[in-house]
Structure 1
Amino acid sequence: TDKQHIHCHIYYNSTTLDYTRKFRNFWGSSFALRRLSDRLCLENGLSIVENPKPRSKGKFRNYGEWQAGQKKPLTYQDRLRAAIDTALAKKPADFPAFLSLMEQAGYEVKQRRGAISFRAPGQERFTRLRSDTLGEGYSETDIRAALSGSRQRPGQPRQKINLAIDIQSRLQGKGPSYERWAKVFNLKQMAAALAYLQDNGLTDYEQLEQKATAATEHFHKLSDQIKSTEAALHTNMELKAATVQYAKTRPVFEKYKASKYSKKFLAEHEADIELYRAACADFKAILGGAKLPKMDTLKEEGRKLSEQKKKLYAEYRKTKADMQEVTTIKANIDYLLGYSEPGRKKEQER
């Protein structure tokens, strides 16, 4: 049996076999089970049913019925077009560099009588690089023109190959890119990446790149807001401390002033007078000549700043986790697709 079409079922009882625990249904439990099943299938190279829809009146479609209504599977020509697009997106310097990228993607390249042909792993016959085989914009002339920058590739814009499908085809096709990736990563990490793409509806590389950039920018924006809030909170605490110190030592300084700055009085109350002068210096440094707010105002401001800091940190922790997840997944995908090879600029900078 072809393992790509194995269909599995999950059965569970109301209690465990040792009767120590029972199954507790919760809101969204079916989604959690489906996600776990999809993860296991992806790790083992099996296909999954994406968002299966039930029949009306509570009747569900079986796998055969679901499969019959799906789109036609990708042909070798579809995969070749996707590989060509991926290779050209890396902006090779010339046509030989383009052919080298195709070989790295796992394709066998044949040049005979001035014609270029490609064959994917498992494919019986070669596919010619010409527009009447692959479609407008996929002839050797079109690709050479695009590489030289003399003109854009002609033809109507085509629908992009789904990023998850492209990744799965590379894993199934093996080849140099897979071997290079397999030395560093494992199937569980790539299965997690594919599950992330599906959960977030990311169908092409640009969407993933934008999400990673947005997550990183949001993280740094929150970091700046937290630093600003903490600085304002520190200033608020300094003002409150200086205000308390000022209120306690001002009567002593007023008496010192009334004594016409007596040296004897200064010697007896030198510590309090120094604290008073330090409080005045703090006011001057912090407020810059502005009017000192009332203590009640300072307390209310400090309370609001503390609440704001607490909320920002809660969002910061989630944002940091989201950023780490998407950037890690993007890094794994970049390595598999050849966007982060040592000694070359990152594809994201194009």
Structure 2
Amino acid sequence: MAILKHISSKNADYGDAEKYLTFEHDEFTMKPTLDADGRLIPRTDYRISSLNCNGEDFAIACMRSNLRYGKNQKREDVKSHHYIISFDPRDGPDNGLTVDRAQELGEKFCREHFPGHQALVCTHPDGHNHTENIHVHIVINSLRIAEVPMLPHMDRPADRKAGCKHRCTDAAMNYLKAEVMEMCHSEGLYQIDLLNGSKERVTDREYWAQKKGQAALDERNAPMIADSITPRTTKFETDKAKLRRTIRAALSEATSFDEFSSLLLREGVTVKESRGRLSYLTPDRAKPITARKLGDDFDRTAVLSTLEQNAARAAEKAAAIPEYPASIKERLQRTKPAKNAPKNDGVQRMVDIAAKKAEGKGRGYEKWATMHNLKQMAATLAAYQQYGFSSPEELDEALTAAHADMQESLAGLKALEAAIADKKELQRNLLSYIGTKPARDGLKAQKSEKARKAYREQHQSDFILAESAARYFKAHGITKLPASKALQREIEQLTVQKNTGYNDYREKRERVRQLQTVKGNIDQILRREPSQQKKQEQER
């Protein structure tokens, strides 16, 4: 799952950005790490490139542009914007994502969505916690040095003019998140829904507070652990993390909002509802924490839904008549959960040893393949039983049904992709038409035919775009142009639906792969059994 983060900086030294990307820094203080001789330690592996700098150093190019347009001269001015695209750690081993490919994706993303800005694009192969998640840093000068086409999130003329500054609005972040999701879909990478929030919303400030608190706690516990004393607390929790745990504990027991409020009050937490939103006040605070800052699991809709589910389960338990089986065997049979589709990640294809020996494999390979086949035979038979198959024919039917489900999911995904492509084509023509409005209005203001002809020649490129967009609207029967913001919202909603369908398709494809592996192994096992039986009969 790729995520997108944004950081704005008022640091006038653009060289610090490049220094951070190319040299090691302390993750807590963000200061450079020095070796024994007091020199900076270069990062071991990274890719870096600059865009729109005309061969100059990024810092020099940015300062030269700032002086040219007279911008970013004040202390309070935002000098640069830092965007980070972090990919899922599984994308490397599972989907073949490399540092070089991530760098290419980052450069393409920067050219498409930050045109006209001087930029640094740098890719690192690892994250703070050595999670091996490849991530791309995109640092842009806040000043735009060239006029650019109108993008969907732009709502002011200054957003596309040279000499004006980049604005990271909510609309811009939603647009960029949707584009990150689309990029991961097209590249076959893992992805989550970035447009609908998260169950637990952890800000950078809380993340680093947890990291620093955990480091301090580990340092305090180190002497006790060295003396073989078990520390009382080994995991640090922020105030928000403690509040989330308290709320979850109350939600697990409560069946009504009043009961939920009373359970929280016992822990010193006051819950308040205002204008359809919940907020939580802890004893050590004067200002409550809103549910939005905690996560989607703690807002009014999610809390009431959980309370309704708890009430329904409580009613079912009260209405149920207890039955006592006649024997322990019956009791176990009644309480044993049914497993219809367990994960079989450990099942691998068995090796055809005879074919490999014919290719020239030696005794060592044959010994390894024999042990491998025995392990996979046991895993295959266990998976075969867990799926509940009683015959190879049932396995074939299940594989056929799973393949049909996968194709149906793929067809729905393709339909969503086509709908998004159509909406984006409409959006491109709409933005082109909107962008040429000043030129079209200027033509209407011309009084004579000669003046209109000269004006059209002067703004020929604008009229070519406008006429092309008009032909598109006519060809598609569009008589009333949609609102740009409403169209962008439709695209974002379709992207969310596509993300759900994309993950559903991946799951169904993985199920087909598992069933194919089990079927291949079963077929190989069944092919061997007759020969083994015949050999036993000959020995008799």
TM-score (norm 1): 0.42
| TM-score (normalizing by structure 2) | 0.28
Q: Which has the higher strand share?
A: 2
- Higher RCO (CA < 8 A, seq sep 6+): 1
Higher helix content, 1 or 2: 1
Bigger Rg, structure 1 or 2: 1
